[in-house]
Amino acid sequence: MTSRRKFLTTAGVGGAAALAAPAVVRAQEPVRWRFQTYAGAALGEQVTKPIIDYINAGANGEMEIELFYADQIVPTGELFQALQRGTIDAVHSDDDSMASPTPLRVFGGYFPFATKHILDVPALFSQYGLADIWREEYAKVGVQWLSAAGQDPCNFNTKKEITSVADLEGLKLYTFPTAGRFLAQFGVVPVNIPYEDAEVAVQTGELDGMAWSGITEDYTVGWADVTDYFLTNNISGAWIGSFFVNQQRWADLPEHLKQLVMAGIEAGHTYRNQWYWGGEARLRARGDKLELRTVPADEWAQVEDAAKVFWDEIAQEGETHARIVEIFREYNDVINQAGPPYTNS
C-alpha cells in the first residue's frame, strides 16, 4: 500500500515535483542555416527568397534559414570554399561563378549553345542523366548537390549598338568565366567584378555592358537604366544553376525537413519558369528602356559554329567533360530533329 510517508520520500527524487509540474515539453532549438545566393537583393527577391520563405513558413519553428545576397558573407567566387568549411550552410549558384573545384565548373552558368529554352535544363538533369553526374561529383568533394534548374538566356545588354559579330570586338563585358572564355575569340574583353558593382561600372565606363542574363534581369536589377541596347541573339538559351548544402549539415537534417527543403526548391523552380518565360516576352514586346537589335541568323551562325569547336576542346579536358558534352550533343540532336517549338527553326 502506497503510504503518505512513501510518497513524501519519493518527492525528493522528483516524485511529487513530477506530479505537480504541468505537462510542458521544452521546445527544441530550431535548425539554423545561413544561406547565400549568387543573386543581388533585387534579383534574389525573385529567384531565391521565395524558396527560403516557403521553407521557413512550413518548418513550424523547427528550422530557420537566414538568407544573404551576393557577396554579403563571402565573394561569390569563394562560395564553394565557404560551403565546404561550413561558413555557409547552403548556396544557390551556378558551378562556374562559385569556382567549383570539379569538372562541372565549366558547364554551370552558360555553357555556349548547350540549351535553347528554360525547360531544357530540367529535361537534361531528369531525363538525360546530368543529375546523377552532379550528385556523384559533389559527393567527392564533401558537398550535397540538391537540384538544378534553368533560368534566363544569356543575351547582351550594352551601351554600344551590336548589329554584326564584328561589333563584339573590344567590348568590355561583365560575364561568366566560361562565357568570357568563349567570347574572347570574338574580341570581347571579359571583366570580373562583384555583381552589385556592375551597374556603376557601366556608368563609369569600366564596362560597356553585360553578357550575363536575359532582359528580365536587366530590368529587375537596374541594368536597363544604364545600357541602351539589347541583343536578341544569345549564346545560351538557359542558365544552369543549382542548390547545394554542406554535406554534414544535410546529413544531420531530419528526413521530414529534407523533404520540406526539396519541396521548397521545386516550388521555386516552377515559379522561376513562369517569371522568366513571361518576363522575357513581355519586356521585349513592351519594355521601353532597351532598344532591340539582332544580328542576322546567317551571320550569327559563325558564333554557333565556334561553339561546336569549343565543345570539342572541352571534351578533351577529361572523362567527365567528355561524358557531359556527349549528353549535350545527344539532347541537341533530339531537339533539332523535333523542330519547333524545341528549336527556333
pLDDT of residue 8: 40
Three-class SS state of 306: helix
pLDDT of residue 24: 42
Inter-residue contact 69 to 195 (CB < 8 Å):
no
- Cβ of 251: how many Cβ atoms within 10 Å? 10
pLDDT of residue 17: 39
Q: What angle do CA 313, 315, 319 make, to 5 degrees?
A: 145
Q: Quick one: cell of 295? A: 544580328
pLDDT of residue 344: 76
pLDDT of residue 22: 44
User: Which domains are assigned to the chain?
Assistant: 31-152+237-286 (3.40.190.170), 156-236+289-338 (3.40.190.170)
Q: How far apart are CA 80 and CA 86, in angstroms?
A: 10
* Ranges assigned E (strand) in the chain: 31-37, 63-68, 90-93, 143-150, 156-158, 172-175, 189-191, 209-211, 229-231, 240-246, 291-293
Q: Each residue's pLDDT tens digit in the chain (345 positions)?
A: 444 444 344 444 444 333 344 444 445 899 999 999 999 999 999 999 999 999 999 999 999 999 999 999 999 999 999 999 999 999 999 999 999 999 999 999 999 999 999 999 999 999 999 999 999 999 999 999 999 999 999 999 999 999 999 999 999 999 999 999 999 999 999 999 999 999 999 999 999 999 999 999 999 999 999 999 999 999 999 999 999 999 999 999 999 999 999 999 999 999 999 999 999 999 999 999 999 999 999 999 999 999 999 999 999 999 999 999 999 999 999 999 999 999 876
Q: Which residue carries 557577396 as its cell?
A: 71
